[in-house]
């Protein structure tokens, strides 16, 4: 029996994500129709916001079962495990779902830079107000 679309991975593969968790997620409609959920990576001990990535059910399942943050790359259209190529690994401490079910908070122990530019966070150069 084929699982509902909300339980299948982006590539059409069946996800092993717990159906009870999948049912709680509210995915972004987006023009691409991929049903992604925003995932904010945060340093677990300092609260520092590191980056924003995107997950579907399969990426979340991989994150929960491997203890390594796994995201869906919208530009490359593939899964990527943070640190596999850079060595800047995100070891997952816990994962939380917000009250609306549309955003994940992935608390991690970040090894090295979180941003692809080499900066500690993706938000180092983006101050718009305050300071």
3-46 confidence digits (pLDDT tens): 333 334 444 455 788 888 887 777 665 545 567 999 999 999 99
Q: Model pTM?
A: 0.79
- State the chain's mean pLDDT as an integer: 84
**Does 48 score more than 80 pLDDT?**
yes
User: Mind listing the domains of the chain with CATH numbers?
Assistant: 5-110 (3.10.20.810)
Contact, 93 vs 29, CB < 8 A? no
Q: What percent of the chain has pLDDT over 70?
A: 82
Instruction: Pinpoint the alpha helices (H) of the chain.
Output: 19-24, 57-66
The pLDDT of 71-85, averaged and rounded, is 92
Q: How far is CA 102 from the centre of its chain?
A: 12
Tokens of 54: 């995107």
């Amino acid at each position: 029996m084929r699982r509902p679309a909300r339980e299948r991975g982006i590539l059409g593969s069946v996800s092993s994500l717990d159906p009870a968790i999948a049912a709680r997620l509210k995915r972004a409609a987006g023009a691409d129709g991929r049903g992604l959920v925003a995932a904010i990576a945060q340093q677990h001990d300092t609260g520092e916001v590191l980056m924003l990535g995107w997950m579907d059910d399969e990426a979340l399942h991989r994150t929960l079962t491997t203890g390594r943050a796994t995201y869906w790359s919208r530009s490359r259209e593939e899964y990527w495990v943070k640190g596999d190529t850079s060595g800047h690994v995100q070891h997952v401490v816990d994962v939380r779902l917000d009250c609306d079910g549309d955003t994940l908070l992935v608390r991690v122990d970040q090894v090295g830079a979180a941003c692809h530019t080499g900066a500690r966070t993706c938000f180092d150069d983006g101050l718009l107000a305050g300071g």
